[in-house]
Amino acid sequence: MATEVDHIQVSDSPTGWWVDLPLTDYQAALDLQLAVVAAKIDGRLDADVVLILEHPRVFTLGRRGGRENLCVKDEFLAAKSVRVIPTGRGGNITYHGPGQLVVYPIVHLSRHRLKVVEFVSALEEAMIRTAGHWSVPAGTDPANRGVWIGADKLGSVGITVRRGVSFHGLALNVNTDMEPFGWIHPCGLAQVRMTSCEQYLGRPVPMAEARRVMAGHLAECLGLTLTTMDVVALCEKLGHRVETMSTAPCQMSSGG
């Protein structure tokens, strides 16, 4: 079930909606992002929207590709029920799965006078502060984007900007099963080792608390006031309806 974040306040800052979703099919989440982006571009939606969720196991490919960094055969992935989906985000191949905190901030960067590099740095800082809540010493690497614990990568960032509006976002390994990362060269880096908060601490982190903590830090880092919005209410505003939001593939259809 999705958790509730009643209100995250940053004084005198722009308003946005925080939409907390359950375990959600990747394609359904992408369809929802695209619907929000379209509504912001054509002026039907002024508020920024931040989606937070977890995905069933999936590999996603970035604009730079990534299938060449897949180290197992399609038959193996089919047997493991892991999909491979091309996307339009930046970066290379990455993995999403339960226990990984995924956040998609759909923000009008040009209206906030935010440069892309500043926005990406804010997403990294939100991950660093969230990990720091449990004394996990995450930081950045001048040579590679994302957040790291020493030489081990803890979280990734990959965004797309369409007519000034950002989508896609960040993925922080909280209690993630690390095995599937061994089936790829994560982010196209053959020697990179992935890690998680759970792996560092030797115990799991409550995901509901991780969502709440991330909400507060992301609001601070982006200078937003975030108020919770139910996904059904959001889809009604967009002219979409949610058929299902579950571990099974979700279907969203246009119209009412």
Contact by Cβ (8 Å): 116, 109: yes
Q: Are 28 and 249 in contact (CB under 8 A)?
A: yes
Amino acid 91: pLDDT? 77
Q: What is the pLDDT of residue 243?
A: 57
Angstrom distance (rounded) from CA 24 to CA 192: 27
pLDDT at 221 over 70: yes
**For 85-121, b where at least 16 C-beta lie within 10 A, e where not — what string?**
eebebbbbbbbbbebbbbbbbbbbbeebebeeeebbe
Note the pLDDT tens digit of each residue in 83-138.
999 887 877 888 999 999 999 999 999 888 899 999 999 999 999 999 999 999 99
CA distance 170 to 134: 19
Average pLDDT over residues 19-29: 95
Segment 77-95, tens digit of pLDDT: 999 999 999 887 877 888 9
What pLDDT is attached to residue 12? 42
pTM (two decimals): 0.87
Phi and psi at residue 36, to the nearest 5°? -65, -45
Determine which one of 187, 197, 235, 250 is catalytic.
187
Give alpha helix (H) positions in the chain: 26-41, 74-79, 116-132, 197-201, 207-222, 231-238
Model pLDDT, residue 253: 35
Chain Cα centroid distance, residue 138? 17
Amino acid at 118: E
235 is catalytic: no
Residue 7: which pLDDT band, with cuts at 50, 70 and 90?
very low
Buried-state track 44-72, b at ≥16 Cβ within 10 A, e below 16:
ebebbbbbbbbbbbbbbbbeeebeebbee
Domains of the chain and any CATH numbers: 7-254 (3.30.930.10)
DSSP 223: T
Name the pLDDT band for 159 (thresholds 50, 70, 90): very high
Q: Is the model's pLDDT at 247 over the cut of 70? A: no
Mean pLDDT value across residues 142-147: 90
